[in-house]
């Protein structure tokens, strides 16, 4: 693993708490840390913001959770937008096409709100859809496709958003969002030595109240 990958992994692993920039500076004194961090900021991969009088580094998704926990105004705004979105979704049975356009605008609006608080992206935990008859899926076939899709989309340190896997595999197996995550959770639980989950992301597997939206093969 390169030094840049180690730095990014440390920031990613710090979660909602974030990581002091000074700690990174001490540990990685041999590299131009400011240049590396500024590049990631421009690529919208990390956020640097003050907590008290100290600069902290967050992965962009972890920073979103931090704002929800620490900024009452941000949380209130997000909850209002979420309620509005749910209201629009209730109209989908009669005005499907119109609602799809409005949901697209809601996503843009959420992104704009996050941009005003240092370019964070929104967090929409997936909601359970209306139950449908479960399809019989061969878990071994699903496991093989799960692994190959991770290899296809993984970044330099192996992480892949679960939503990316869902988009591919739900289409291939013609299963719902809930069915995909049920299968993914079963697969990960049965193969803990093979997979690693991480918090964050727009949706994922719920574990003790936290969204685990990233996965990688060990």
Same domain, residue pair 145 and 206:
yes
Distances, alpha carbon 211 to alpha carbons 46, 62, 75, 183, in Å: 19, 11, 17, 16
Domain count of the fold of the chain: 3
Structural domain harbouring 96: 71-115
Residues 13 and 77 in one domain: no
Q: 116 with 165: CB under 8 angstroms? A: no
The whole-model pTM stands at 0.39
Query: 120 lies in a domain?
Result: no
The CATH number linked to 210 is: 3.30.420
If asked whether residues 81 and 49 sit together in one domain, one would say no
Structure-token pair, residue 159:
């992480």
Which tens digits make up the pLDDT trace of 99-137? 677 787 878 777 777 776 554 444 444 444 445 555 678
d(CA 207, CA 195): 15
Picking from 42, 38, 31, the residue whose alpha carbon sits closest to that of residue 4 is 31
Please report how the helices 139-153 and 162-173 are oriented relative to each other, as an axis angle in degrees rounded to 10.
130
The answer to whether residues 45 and 85 belong to one domain is no
Each residue of 153-199: pLDDT tens digit? 988 898 999 999 999 999 999 999 999 999 999 999 999 999 999 99
Does some domain include residue 172? Answer: yes
Q: What is the pLDDT of residues 192-212, one digit of tens each?
A: 999 999 999 889 999 999 999
7 and 41 co-located in one domain = yes
Same domain, 143 and 195: yes
Q: Are residue 80 and residue 108 in the same domain, yes or no?
A: yes
């Amino acid at each position: 693993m390169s030094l840049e990958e180690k730095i990014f992994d440390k920031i990613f692993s710090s979660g909602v708490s974030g990581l002091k920039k000074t700690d990174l500076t001490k540990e990685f004194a041999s590299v131009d840390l400011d240049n590396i961090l500024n590049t990631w900021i421009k690529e919208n991969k990390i956020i640097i913001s003050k907590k008290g009088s100290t600069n902290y580094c967050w992965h962009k998704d972890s920073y979103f959770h931090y704002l929800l926990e620490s900024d009452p105004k941000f949380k209130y705004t997000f909850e209002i937008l979420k309620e509005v979105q749910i209201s629009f979704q209730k109209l989908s049975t009669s005005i499907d096409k119109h609602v799809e356009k409005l949901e697209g605008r809601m996503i843009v609006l959420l992104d704009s709100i996050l941009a005003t608080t240092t370019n964070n992206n929104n967090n929409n935990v997936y909601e359970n859809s209306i139950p449908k008859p479960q399809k019989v899926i061969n878990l071994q076939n699903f496991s093989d496709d799960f692994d190959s899709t991770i290899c296809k989309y993984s970044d330099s340190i192996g992480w892949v958003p679960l939503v990316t896997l869902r988009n591919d595999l739900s289409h291939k197996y013609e299963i719902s969002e809930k069915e995909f995550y049920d299968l993914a959770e079963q697969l990960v639980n049965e193969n803990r030595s093979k997979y690693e989950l991480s918090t964050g992301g727009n949706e994922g597997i719920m574990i003790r109240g936290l969204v685990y939206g990233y996965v990688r093969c060990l």
